[in-house]
Amino acid sequence: QHFRLAVIPGDGIGKEVIDEGLRVINHLEKSSNGKFSFETDYFPWGCEYYLENGKMMAEDGLEQIKNHDAIYFGAVGFPNVPDHVSLWGLRIAICQGLDQWANIRPVEFLPGVESPLNHPDRDHLNWVLVRENTEGEYSGIGGRNFTGRGPGKEVAVQSSIFTEEGCERIIRHAFELARTRKRKKVTSVTKSNAQQYGMVLWDEVFERVSKDYPDVETDQWLVDAMAAQFVLHPEDLEVVVASNLLADILSDLGSALAGSLGIAASANLNPDRKYPSMFESVHGSAPDIAGQGIANPIGAIGSAALMLENLGLQNEAELINKAIRETTKEGLLTADIGGKNSTKEVTDGIISHLSKI
Ligand code: NAI
Ligand code: MG
């Protein structure tokens, strides 16, 4: 099998961690004895590209990547370009343009990693966030200065869009995912007491869809209470489905509880398989540590594992995840999770465990 990857390193530590993920993939490719091979096309889009060209990606950028088998993405954003420009110009443009409507973000607790969570069963906790990735609060609809009133009196409007179809497909996806996991449970999170239109629609769709899955346990929460639940009773979580903004926030909370943003992986899926899916760590470009060689590569390497799984290489994906756990257990850790190792040393550790398994 031959796969074509579109690689978009982006900015800051995005560039550093993507190299590490590709090193791991190259290693697996070499030891696969020709079972599979990868070809990588690089796209230099991001904030530097913006400063030269006035846009974050090429005009026909989506055309250039839409026929690849998968997209491997670093992170975007750097202090010299406003964050809403960089995010909308690249990451959101790709997710929405290629209809990657399901963002999957596993929360995984790794052995040997310091975590602020005090829980008796901590090393065995894991749950997964299913984030609606194309509409909701990130619809991009609204505007500034509607009333034309003077300085200090501006009014801005930011609208959310919730479509019945959009809610249904992401909720169904969460139920299907729950069926593949040990404890079949889906928790839906909204703020439908305060957001009385879109999120009430979401709740109604959730109740309707849940009837098709009598074998799956369900739960419905408001997001403020769910934030507390993440900290107090994470053992109750299995698959958590929520809107674009709410799941974005909860996933950072989840990865911080697990020890660091640097270890969280994610997949932006087009489950219809009409377009390629995109794989990226949850963290951003981390300008505060960029260029120092100390970024944690585990989020990006875990995202590479999600990519291989999506390409049908389940065994290889599992091998990577196992090697990550062996490496943290052994104490090879970057500074964000309480260690002293460099980005490269951690990846080398993961690769050497891969050679042993
Ligand atoms: P961030 O995730 O870049 O950094 C937050 C904190 O976590 C920083 O202290 C950083 O050093 C640390 N951190 C993040 N990843 C790490 C890693 N792999 N290893 C060690 N430490 C790590 O979020 P922040 O600072 O809010 O945003 C920085 C830029 O990234 C902004 O321009 C923002 O818009 C962008 N961003 C881009 C995202 C994307 O491309 N998907 C997602 C989130 C933010
Ligand atoms: Mg985020």
128 and 239 in a single domain? The answer is yes
Average pLDDT, the chain: 96
Is residue 150 in a domain?
A: no
Same domain, residue pair 215 and 271: no
- Which residues, in sequence order, are CB contacts of 220 under 8 Å at separation 6+? 187, 188, 189, 190, 203, 206
Task: Give nearest CA residue, ligand 1 atom 22.
Answer: 262
> Residue 149: its pLDDT value, please?
81
Say which residue, 123 or 238, is predicted with more confidence: 238
10 Cα nearest atom in ligand 1: 40
Q: Whose CA is nearest to atom 37 of ligand 1?
A: 284
Task: Identify the domain containing residue 39 by its residue range.
Answer: 1-101+258-357
Ligand nearest to the CA of 248: 2
Q: Cβ distance 250 to 224 under 8 Å?
A: no
ipTM confidence: 0.97
Residue 106 domain flag: no
Consecutive H or E run containing 8: strand 2-10
200 and 214 inside one domain? yes
Residue 90 has a pLDDT of 95
User: Is residue 2 situated within a structural domain?
Assistant: yes
Exposure on the CB side of residue 297, measured as CA atoms within 13 A: 34
208 lies in the same domain as 163: yes
Residue 69 shares a structural domain with residue 124? no
Residue 168 belongs to a domain: yes
- Answer yes or no: are the C-beta atoms of 166 and 101 closer than 8 Å: yes
- Residue 52 placed within a domain: yes
Q: Atom 18, ligand 1: which residue's CA is nearest?
A: 262
The residue whose CA is least distant from atom 27 of ligand 1 is: 284
Instruction: For residue 265, give the nearest of 323, 307, 326, 236 by alpha carbon.
Output: 307
> In total, how many domains does the chain have?
2
Phi and psi (nearest 5°) for 346?
Answer: -65, -45
Task: Output the CA 240–ligand 2 centroid distance in Å.
Answer: 16
Structure tokens at 149: 């009133």
Rounded Cα distance, 302 and 126, in Å: 14
From CA 162, how far away is CA 204, in angstroms rounded? 12
Task: State which ligand 1 atom lies nearest to the alpha carbon of 281.
Answer: 41
294 and 252, same domain (yes or no): no
Centre of ligand 2 from the C-alpha of residue 282, in Å: 6
pLDDT at 147: 77
126 & 246 share domain: yes
Is the domain of 126 the same as that of 230?
yes
Pocket of ligand 1 (CB under 6 A): 13, 17, 75-77, 83, 86-87, 91, 261-262, 280, 283-289, 295-296, 299, 334, 336
Q: What are phi and psi of 120, to 5 degrees?
A: -60, -30
Ligand 1 atom with the smallest distance to the CA of 17 is: 18
CA distances 90 to 42, 61, 103, Å, are 15, 9, 16
| Cα 168 to middle of ligand 2, angstroms | 23
Q: Say yes or no: 171 and 215 in one domain.
A: yes
Do 280 and 345 fall within a single domain?
yes
Rounded to whole angstroms, how far apart are CA atoms 281 and 68? 19
Q: Please give the distance, rounded to the nearest whole angstrom, from the Cα atom of residue 60 to the centre of ligand 2.
A: 26
Give the DSSP letter string of 205-227. HHHHHHTT-TTSEEEEEEHHHHH
166 occurs within a structural domain: yes
Radius of gyration of the chain (CA): 20
Q: Going by C-beta distance under 8 Å and a sequence separation of 6 or more, which residues neighbour residue 53?
A: none
Residue range 129-162, pLDDT digits in tens = 999 999 999 999 999 987 778 788 888 999 999 9
**41 C-alpha to ligand 2 centroid (Å):** 26
Of 94-103, 113-122, 255-264, give the lowest mean pLDDT range.
113-122
Boundary of a domain, candidates 228, 257, 286: 257
Quick one: tokens of 87? 């995010």
Give the Å distance between the CA of 88 and the centre of ligand 1: 16
pLDDT of residue 159: 96
74 CA closest ligand 1 atom index: 40
Strand 239-242 with 126-132, pairing: parallel
The rounded percent of the chain whose pLDDT value lies above 70 is 100
**Predicted pLDDT of residue 146:** 76
Statement: residue 357 has pLDDT above 80 = no
Please state which of the ranges 72-86, 115-129, 169-183, 299-313 shows the lowest mean pLDDT: 115-129
- Structural domain contains residue 148: no
Q: Of 225, 257, 289, at which residue does a domain stop? A: 257
CA dist., res. 198 & res. 164, Å (int): 9
Residues 70 and 134 in one domain: no
pLDDT > 90 fraction of the chain, expressed in percent and rounded:
94
Amino acid at 205: V
Q: Whose CA is nearest to atom 23 of ligand 1?
A: 284
| CATH number of domain containing 204 | 3.40.718.10
Q: Answer whether residue 293 is part of any domain.
A: yes
Å from CA of 18 to ligand 1 middle: 14
Give yes or no: residues 58 and 175 share one domain: no
Ligand closest to 280 (CA) is 1
Boundary (domain end) residue, out of 222, 257, 292: 257
Confidence (pLDDT) at 151? 83
